[in-house]
Structures are given as C-alpha cells and as structure tokens.
Structure 1
C-alpha cells in the first residue's frame, strides 16, 4: 500500500460534474482529490480487505439474529421499546437490504481493523462507485497509468444486480433531506443503478413525505409510496412523528429497520464479546462513565455518531483529539485506539463496501487529523501487482 502523486486531469471539475458529482469542492478545498492515488496489490485487496469484509458482514448478520430475539439487547442498543417488534419482524420476514460500508484502519500489512459499520445511510457511494472508476479509465487512456491497472470496484454492477432482485413495480421512491447536495448525489446515483435494472423511480425530499387518512405514506401528488429508499437514519425516524406510522404504513423501506442494529456503534462491544480476539476487531466496551476523561489508548464514540462527530480519541501517550457535534443524546462506547496509517501529513481510512451480501469495492478517505470527518478528502485507488 502506497500513496502515489499524479497530475490532475485537465478540466476534471466538469468531468465529475457530468457524473452528478457537484460537491467535489467544499469550502474552496478539495473533497475529491486526484492529485494522488493509493496503490494496493491484488493480495492486499483479496486477503486483507475483501475476505475480512465478507466475514465481518456475516458476523453482523449473525449479531442481528441474536439481538432481535433479546429485548435486553435491543434496549441496550437504545432502540425504543415501541419499535422492538418492527425491528424484529423486519429481520424475521427477511426484508431485503441494499448496501453498507465498513471503515477500516489498514496499514498495508497485518489485519485491517474495523473502526465502525455504516450500514444504514452510508454516503461516498457516488465517488466510490462511479467517479473514481471513470478517473481510472481516463488515466489509463491518457497513458498516466499502465493498461493493467485495476480497482477493487464492482459497486455499480453489483448495485444493478441487487436492484434486479426487486420486482420492477411498484415505483421505487428515493428520499434524502432537502438541501443536502451530497445526499442527493447519493440517491440520484442509486436511482440510475435502479433504472439500469428496469425499475421506475422518483425522488422525494424526506420533508415532503405525507401521510393519508389510511395511514399510508404519500408523495406531494397524493400517490402512495409503496417502496422507499430513505437516506435518513432509523435512529432519527424512531424519534419523529413520521416513525409512529412506519409499521402500519405498508411501505417497504430500504434500508429495512433491522439495519438500525448494524449501524449502531453499540454493536461493536457485542461483536467483541462474541468474537473476542478476532484479528479484524478491536476491543470495545460500553462506556460506563462517559462524563469522565477518555483513558489513554481508547476512543469514545456515541452510538449514533456520523462523519467523526462527537468522537474523543486519546492516544497511548495521552494526546487528546476530539470533534464536536450534535450526537449527545445516546450512550457511548469505548473502543481501543488503532492509529490510522500516515502518508506524509495525511491519515488514511479505507472504506470497504458491501452490496447485498457481496464485498463490492473500496473508497479511500484522507484527513489531516486522526478523526475522519465529512470534509475529509476522497482519493482514488489502483490495484497493481
């Protein structure tokens, strides 16, 4: 694993915008950063990333099966009791899921360490599944990369295949919070993949979803929403008036309610408890004293944090790194500190994707801090050798 500098493509901004990637620059700084790429060997990808991704996915599904049968475990993950039955039945009925992402600390040798699972509303999908693949193809065509250069990236075709397992009808609605360019980019990319599978789709902002007198979710024209992909986390839905109507609405939700278990960082201590010593897991416990200082060599994470928000990290030597954020109303875990690899002045995180039940590719995020945030840069990758 190495970081290799490379010249940007001329006019790359217009090229990526044509792919629907309108958020390539944030605050005047690169979010998409093609001034360098990360290079992996085939053995690193297949042995150190793809294989653990498959195994961890199976472990997470096994964990869901355990949790749904235990009200104590459901309560321990801060799932409201009113939704126990809905979460349980979504699993027991085999409600289909679409995608997820594991975030790894990986140095290019030794086992990748699982930092968290983003299994309900993961983003960076457009840049991983489309933008970096187009970059690879164009850089090969320009002679900037060798013809045999490849990527661990079957995201687009795997998404089309996954959507193909859904019936062509009824209309598939895709929703995101109004005003979020990144979220809309994600849902529009997913809509394109659904279209390739022959599925008719429509966009609706989450705020525009209505409820008719029969308790069915409807769009602004009063049409029933029978299938809904919602880029809106279950832990929020559970606390909103919207959520009270979900169980009786008859709407098929993607992701299904059981994903609230896998996307919850409270699952990490359970995975460690059930698979203590697994090479891809880090020691993790439920935080017994979240108001006290983080011990040296540990990281404090809220159950529902995203994009590094509300993370407190203390290195073994006692250095404290932390990010503020809004996720202060749920329990916390403590996870053993596993440093991200550093290339020059950047710390690097590997996101490993699962589509359906299949490992589907990776995306690389880079930050000047040990905590990967929503402003962290996304860099392409190459597999060679």
Structure 2
C-alpha cells in the first residue's frame, strides 16, 4: 500500500457538478481530494481486505441471530424494549437488507484491524461506487495512469443487482428519504434511487421531516399516500426517540435498512464480537465501559454506542497522548476498544472503508485526515490496484 501523488484534473470540479457530486467541497476545503491516490496490490485487496470483510460479515450476521434471542444482549446494546419484538420479527422474516461498510486500519502489512461497522446509514457511497471509478477511467484516458490499472469496485453493479432481488418483496413505489438540506445525504439517496431505477423499481423522494402519519398509524407522504417501502438515510436510534417512532412496529412500512440493522449499527457489537472471537486477527480487544478496562491501560479508544462520523471519540495512545472529538452523543453508554493507530503517510492518516452489498464484499473507499480521528469532513482519496 502506497500513497502516490498525482496531478489533479483541471476540470474535476465542473465534472463533479455535472455528475451530481455537489458535496465535493466542505466548508471551503476539499472533501474529494485527487491530488494523490492509494495504490494496492491485487493480493493485498483479495487477502487482506476482501476475504476478512466476508468472514467478519458472516460473524456479525451470526451474532444478530443470537442477540434477537437474548433479552440480556438487547439490554446490553441499550435498544429500547418497545422495539425488541419488532426487531426480532424482522430478523426471523429475513427482512431484506442492502448494504454496509466496515472501517479498517490497514497499511499493506499484516492483518487489517476492524474499527467499526457502519451498517444502518453508511455514507461516502457515491464517491466510492461511482466518482472514483470515473476518475480512474479519465486518468487512464489522459495517460496519467497505466491502462492496466484497476480498482476494487463492484459496488454499483452489486447495488443494482441487490435492488433487483429486493424488488420482489417490496410494495411499490420505494421511497428514498434523508434530512432536508443535507447535500451529502441528498446526493447519496439520489444515487441509490438511480441504482434502484436501473433495477426496474419505481421510486419517489421525500424529506424525512415531511413524513406524516395517518389516523390508523400508517406512514404517509405529503399527498397522504401510504408509504409502503422506505429507504431512510436516517439512524434507527433517532427514529426510536422521535414522535412517530412508537408507530414503527405497527406501521407495516418495509424499512431499508431493516429493523435488525439496529444491532449491527451499534458500537456494542464490537465487544460482543471480541467475546465470541477473542484473538481473531482482524478484531481489536473491546469491552463495555462498565467492564474492567485494565487490559487496555496501554492505549484505548472510547466510543459511544450510537456515535457516528467520528463524533464524541476519546482516544489515548500508548505513549499517553490524548485526543477528543466533540459531538451530540453525550448521553450514550460507552465501549472501550484497544488503540491501534491508523497508518501514517506524509502527514495523512488513511482509513479503509470496505463495502458489503447484500452479503457480498464488493469494493473500498479511502478516507484520510490530518488526525488519528476520522470525521465527517475527512477527505475522500481514490485508490488503484497496480
């Protein structure tokens, strides 16, 4: 694994705008950053990223089946009791799911180490699935990259295929929803809706704030049409706490991601995986905060069960250096995970995001930051297989 400098395309911003990538710049700083790329060998991708992703995904799915049968584990994950039966039923009925992303620390040597699973509302999808592939093709056409360069990227075709399979079990149309005025979230659902349409689904879009509820407890759009199927780029744990949340179990709306994803989007999955697969080469020791933390005294990362995008992280390195990120997740139970530093390339710390679509590992995206904590503003840098 190498970080290689390359001249950015002079027209990349215009290309991004033309292709619907309008969140390429955040607060005046580049979010998409093509002044460099990360180069992997095919062996690194297949052995160190793709294979472990498939194995860890199977382990996580097995754990869901265990959690829905054990009230003590649902309590451990701080999932509200009112939703336990609904979550369990969605698992027992094999409610369809679409995608997820695992985040790894990896430097090209030794096993990749799992930081966390993003299995309910993962973003950085459009840039991983589409725009970095577009960058690769254009750089090859311009002679900046060799013709035989490749990319670990079957994400888009996997999404279209998955939507085609899911379509057999969905009421029509499939609504796509995100928070109003979030360019990144709106761009993500627009991309996913396009993939669904390629698979033959009729789609509609609605802001999460505009979803209503009928007198008989059905979710509705602004024209009072019942929403039979909803892809929501909005965390399940947020929905549990909001006014209409109590209507979820009886609403008959098919959610993507399904209710059982509330288990895999919870940081508590990390200590549960460690308990069951201690010393697995791709796992880091992890414990619930109320458990003795002595094994991690040499360095640790404290994470809220429900934190996202690097918020409310507290980190202590083995040398005693501490870092902290602010955020809204101040009342969540905590886990503590062993510290394992991201690799360092010329002042940049890359995090490898490995994508899973419908149980299939299918691609990766790299985010990098100037800090050991990867945040929502961390840059997306393309990758290449050489």
Give the TM-score band, short-chain normalised: over 0.9
For residues 87 and 368 of structure 1, the distance between their equivalents in structure 2, rounded to whole angstroms, comes to: 39
* TM-superposition CA deviations, 1:222-254 (whole Å, max 9, x none): 111100000110111111122111111111000
User: Is 1:104 aligned to residue 104 of structure 2?
Assistant: yes
Moved over 3 A (4+): none
For residues 28 and 240 of structure 2, the distance between their equivalents in structure 1, rounded to whole angstroms, comes to: 36
- Offset at 1:166? 2.3
For residues 336 and 296 of structure 1, the distance between their equivalents in structure 2, rounded to whole angstroms, comes to: 8
Work out whether residues 297 and 315 of structure 1, in 8 Å CA contact, stay in contact via their aligned partners in 2: yes
- Aligned residue for 1:238, secondary structure, equals helix
- Indicate the residue corresponding to 1:334 in structure 2: 336
For residues 72 and 281 of structure 1, the distance between their equivalents in structure 2, rounded to whole angstroms, comes to: 23
* TM-superposition CA deviations, 1:284-310 (whole Å, max 9, x none): 0001289xxx94411100001111100
Root-mean-square deviation over aligned CA pairs: 1.3
- Indicate the residue corresponding to 2:117 in structure 1: 117
The more displaced of 169-178 and 96-105 is: 169-178
- Indicate the residue corresponding to 2:57 in structure 1: 57
Matched ranges for 1:219-368 at <5 A:
219-288=221-290, 295-368=297-370
- Indicate the residue corresponding to 1:91 in structure 2: 91
For residues 18 and 54 of structure 1, the distance between their equivalents in structure 2, rounded to whole angstroms, comes to: 35
* TM-superposition CA deviations, 1:254-286 (whole Å, max 9, x none): 000100100100010000000000000000000
For residues 237 and 162 of structure 1, the distance between their equivalents in structure 2, rounded to whole angstroms, comes to: 25
For residues 332 and 17 of structure 1, the distance between their equivalents in structure 2, rounded to whole angstroms, comes to: 40
TM-score by length of 1: 0.98
- Aligned residue for 2:131, secondary structure, equals helix
- Aligned residue for 1:269, secondary structure, equals helix
* TM-superposition CA deviations, 1:34-63 (whole Å, max 9, x none): 000000000000000000000010001001
User: Is 1:74 aligned to residue 78 of structure 2?
Assistant: no
For residues 4 and 330 of structure 1, the distance between their equivalents in structure 2, rounded to whole angstroms, comes to: 40
The more displaced of 175-184 and 241-250 is: 241-250
User: Is 1:373 aligned to residue 380 of structure 2?
Assistant: no
Match of 2:175 among 170, 173, 176: 173
Task: Give the aligned length.
Answer: 382
- Indicate the residue corresponding to 2:30 in structure 1: 30
For residues 19 and 337 of structure 1, the distance between their equivalents in structure 2, rounded to whole angstroms, comes to: 39
- Aligned residue for 1:58, secondary structure, equals helix
Matched ranges for 1:181-196 at <5 A:
181-196=183-198
Work out whether residues 353 and 362 of structure 1, in 8 Å CA contact, stay in contact via their aligned partners in 2: yes
Work out whether residues 19 and 130 of structure 1, in 8 Å CA contact, stay in contact via their aligned partners in 2: no
For residues 19 and 340 of structure 1, the distance between their equivalents in structure 2, rounded to whole angstroms, comes to: 32
Q: Return 5+ residue gaps in structure 1 as ranges.
A: none
- Aligned residue for 1:245, secondary structure, equals helix
* TM-superposition CA deviations, 1:152-210 (whole Å, max 9, x none): 00111000000000236510000001111100011000000001001110110000001
User: Is 1:39 aligned to residue 39 of structure 2?
Assistant: yes
Q: Return 5+ residue gaps in structure 2 as ranges.
A: none
The more displaced of 160-169 and 21-30 is: 160-169
- Offset at 1:88? 0.6
TM-score by length of 2: 0.97
For residues 191 and 183 of structure 1, the distance between their equivalents in structure 2, rounded to whole angstroms, comes to: 12
- Indicate the residue corresponding to 1:157 in structure 2: 157
